[in-house]
């Protein structure tokens, strides 16, 4: 059994009413891998994770974790996985230690091992000094760390993290990833993480790009960049006439047409010819080298950030561009 | 798998269940102990009902109507309402524990338990036992007022009373879980719980007796028929009656009915709650 992949997913389909949340998704996660599910909000990442944690049942298809079928033996499957959900699931009115001890009891960790392991885990996530504090007094970054520690109290070898860094400031995010990498090295963990922060998946072994319930690509970040990566030009035309002309001139190259135009580029020659034609009628131009960002854009025609932009962000963006006075 | 291995695994399974039920029970109790507001409610309520309402109404409870003696009652009003106040305290606390179910659901803690290897039945059992323990504790707080209500406590009456309190608390906490499953918001719950608790309480023959010395026909002369009917179909009536039997040795109904109704309620509500919980 130790040879079995950590996770196998075969043709998993899930519907919510008329929307198809997952459309015959299949892939495997190898043992010891740091595997990322990358996609915008609503892509189906969390649904997939919930199926793997046995909270949801798939409509069809087979999924296993550590070789155990999650639909046939949910209790058995749960015993060997650790989960950190997107929303915090700690008890605010218990102390740090009590939360961990609760977890240990519920997972049947014998008392002798339990207290030792709790202390170890607290040390790793640097919360030892907080062990007797009520959880409600912790910052959100600390709560997240505590949740990771908790997910490992029962010596799980497979860890699911659903958007572990969402809502954290940059510093806490870096710290979070340091712990994840460290735990992986020390304990040979398999980690499956969902995220919509593209910069976070650069360090993962493999990335699964998912959108509208479909797997678009699975590979290492390097290979993805080599295969789907594309030099992109982001440009803002001076006026609408120019925009229309550019759209007409390069119909095959357009990736996106919103405030700024995004065009596929294949090198300096193209940039020069574009400049030759439009020159000063282009207000702003940026050349973007192949990145996971551009991979995602070429695969989906969307930017990850599109999904995250709230009304407030949009107003902020508008203000940054000069607000009303740009017209 | 050899037989020994199978046995080991079974034993591990059992230990896991017990440990899990204990963990959930412990959490409920700890949370309740840290919740000062709930404790204050548990202390104020009996003071209000026993010391203020009980003492206030005590002189008017003499079994006579317009100077004509109709009832011969072997107890004072204070003694009469004392067991009912215990039931009231249990009722409030049990239903409040349903709030913690909503809380867990809305704030994610439920997820932590749902992805654990504990089956639903153990999760629910831990939850209900925890809530019942707290409710039973609040019920027994009332016992501190026994001297003021002229109630002599013996070891036997306290032991019997605690047993009945536990059954009632277990049944009502299970009912609270069912309620919580149907309520989507805290706001809705407040209204709903008052709309359930107070009618149940006042219709349980808690503050006025259905006198046993009167025949059913005579009783309907004293009280309107609909009121007698509502009191008689309220299961809480029989729980209060059983507790009255334990503390003041007085029963309006056959003394065997109370415990049977209580056990029936406990089994019925727990099974129903389990059914709902498995669906969720």
Alpha carbons A80 and B80: distance in angstroms, whole number: 56
Share of chain A above pLDDT 90, in %: 27
**Domain count along chain B:** 1
Q: B87-125, pLDDT tens digit by residue?
A: 999 998 888 887 788 888 877 888 889 888 888 999 999
**Chain A within 8 Å of B20 (Cβ-Cβ)?**
yes
Q: Which residues of A touch B (CB under 8 A)?
A: 53-55, 75-76, 78-79, 81, 83, 85, 87-94, 98, 101-103, 105-108, 150
A25: β partners: A12
Alpha carbons B158 and B152: distance in angstroms, whole number: 10
Q: Are A280 and A274 in contact (CB under 8 A)?
A: no
The domains of chain A, with CATH numbers, are: 7-225 (3.40.50.300), 227-326 (3.30.70)
* Strands of the A231-237 sheet, one edge to the other: A254-257, A261-265, A231-237, A282-288
Residue spans of beta strands (DSSP E) within B35-180: 64-65, 68-69
Q: B141-167, pLDDT tens digit by residue?
A: 999 988 888 888 899 999 999 999 999
Share of chain A above pLDDT 70, in %: 91
Nearest CA in chain A to B15: A108
CB contact under 8 A, A53 and B16: no
DSSP B146-183: GGGGT----HHHHHHHHHHHHHHHHHHHHHHHHHHHH-
**Chain A within 8 Å of B39 (Cβ-Cβ)?**
no
CB contact under 8 A, A108 and B12: yes
Query: Cα-flanking dihedrals φ and ψ of residue A290, to 5°?
Result: -55, 130
Strand-pair category, A34-38 with A206-211: parallel
Residue B185 has pLDDT above 50, yes or no: yes
Side-chain half-sphere exposure of B74, counting CA atoms within 13 A: 9
Nearest CA in chain B to A98: B27
CA distance, residue A73 to nearest chain B CA (Å): 10
DSSP 8-state secondary structure symbol assigned to residue A41? T
Q: Are A203 and A181 in contact (CB under 8 A)?
A: yes
Range of the structural domain that residue B149 is part of? 3-279
pLDDT of residue B105: 82
CB-neighbour burial class of residue B192 (10 A; exposed 0-12, middle 13-18, buried 19+): middle
**Chain A within 8 Å of B279 (Cβ-Cβ)?**
no
Residue B214 has pLDDT above 70, yes or no: no
Q: 3-state class of B116 per DSSP? A: coil
Question: Which residue is associated with the tokens 């319930």?
Answer: A213
Q: Which residues of chain A are within 8 Å of residue B35 when distances are taken between CB atoms?
A: 93
> Taking all residues of chain B, what is their mean pLDDT, rounded to a whole number?
84
CA distance, residue B89 to nearest chain A CA (Å): 24
Residue A105 has pLDDT above 60, yes or no: yes
pLDDT of residue B71: 57
Strand-pair category, A7-16 with A19-29: antiparallel
Nearest CA in chain A to B26: A102
**Chain A within 8 Å of B5 (Cβ-Cβ)?**
no
Q: Which residues of chain A are within 8 Å of residue B117 when distances are taken between CB atoms?
A: 75-76, 78-79, 106-108
Integer angstrom CA distances of residue B52 from A137, B58, B131, B142, B247: 40, 10, 28, 14, 20
pLDDT of residue B66: 56
Token couple for A266:
């294949």
Alpha carbons A229 and A207: distance in angstroms, whole number: 14
Question: Which residue is associated with the tokens 């009996």?
Answer: B46
CA distance, residue B136 to nearest chain A CA (Å): 22
Token couple for A222:
């390097």
pLDDT of residue B60: 76
pLDDT of residue B87: 93
Q: Which residues of chain A are within 8 Å of residue B20 when distances are taken between CB atoms?
A: 105-106, 108
């Amino acid at each position: 059994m130790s040879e079995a992949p950590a996770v196998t997913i075969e043709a998993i389909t899930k519907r919510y009413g008329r929307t198809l949340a997952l459309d015959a998704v299949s892939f495997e996660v190898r043992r010891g891998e740091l595997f990322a599910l990358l996609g915008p909000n609503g892509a189906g990442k969390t649904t997939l994770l919930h199926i793997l944690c046995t909270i949801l049942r798939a409509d069809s298809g087979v999924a296993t974790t550590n070789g155990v079928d999650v639909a046939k033996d949910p209790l058995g499957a749960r015993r060997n996985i650790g989960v950190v959900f997107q929303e915090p699931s700690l008890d605010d009115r218990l102390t740090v230690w009590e939360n961990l001890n609760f977890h240990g009891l519920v997972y049947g960790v014998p008392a002798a091992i339990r207290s030792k392991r709790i202390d170890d885990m607290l040390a790793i996530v640097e919360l030892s000094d907080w062990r007797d504090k009520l959880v409600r007094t912790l910052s959100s970054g600390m709560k997240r760390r505590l949740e990771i520690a908790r997910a490992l109290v029962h010596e799980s070898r497979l860890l699911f993290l659903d958007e572990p860094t969402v809502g954290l400031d940059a510093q806490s995010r870096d710290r979070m990833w340091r712990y994840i990498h460290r735990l992986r090295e020390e304990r040979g963990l398999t980690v499956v993480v969902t995220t919509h922060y593209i910069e976070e998946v650069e360090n993962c072994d493999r990335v699964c790009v998912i959108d509208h319930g479909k797997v678009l690509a699975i590979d290492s970040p390097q290979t993805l960049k080599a295969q789907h990566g594309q030099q992109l030009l982001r440009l803002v035309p001076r006026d609408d006439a120019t925009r229309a002309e550019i759209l007409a001139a390069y119909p095959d190259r357009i990736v996106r047409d919103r405030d700024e135009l995004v065009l596929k580029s294949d090198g300096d020659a193209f940039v020069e010819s574009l400049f030759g034609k439009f020159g000063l009628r282009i207000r702003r131009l940026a050349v973007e080298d192949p990145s996971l960002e551009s991979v995602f854009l070429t695969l989906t025609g969307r930017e990850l950030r599109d999904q995250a932009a709230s009304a407030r962000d949009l107003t902020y963006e508008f203000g940054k561009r000069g607000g009303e006075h740009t017209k | 798998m050899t037989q020994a291995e199978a046995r080991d695994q079974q034993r591990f399974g059992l230990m896991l269940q017990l440990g899990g039920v204990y963990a959930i029970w412990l959490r409920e109790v700890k949370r309740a102990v840290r919740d000062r507001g709930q404790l204050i409610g548990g202390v104020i309520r009996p003071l209000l009902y026993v010391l203020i309402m009980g003492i206030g109404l005590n002189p008017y409870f003499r079994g006579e109507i317009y100077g004509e003696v109709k009832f011969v009652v072997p107890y004072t009003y204070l003694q009469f309402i004392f067991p009912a106040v215990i039931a009231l305290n249990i009722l409030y606390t049990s239903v409040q524990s349903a709030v913690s179910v909503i809380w867990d659901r809305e704030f994610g803690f439920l997820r932590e338990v749902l992805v654990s290897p504990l089956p639903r039945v153990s999760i629910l059992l831990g939850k209900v036992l925890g809530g019942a323990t707290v409710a039973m504790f609040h019920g027994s707080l009332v016992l501190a007022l026994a001297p003021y209500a002229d109630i002599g406590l013996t070891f036997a009456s306290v032991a019997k009373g605690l047993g009945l309190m536990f059954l009632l608390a277990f049944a009502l906490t299970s009912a609270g879980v069912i309620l919580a499953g149907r309520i989507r918001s805290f706001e809705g719950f407040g209204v709903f719980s008052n709309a359930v608790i107070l009618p149940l309480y006042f219709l349980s023959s808690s503050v006025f007796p259905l006198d046993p010395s009167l025949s059913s026909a005579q009783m309907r002369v004293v009280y309107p028929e609909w009121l007698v009917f509502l009191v008689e179909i309220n299961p809480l009536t029989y729980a209060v009656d059983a507790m009255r039997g334990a503390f003041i040795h007085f029963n309006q109904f056959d003394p065997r009915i109370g415990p049977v109704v209580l056990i029936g309620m406990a089994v019925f509500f727990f099974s129903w709650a389990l059914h709902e919980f498995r669906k969720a």
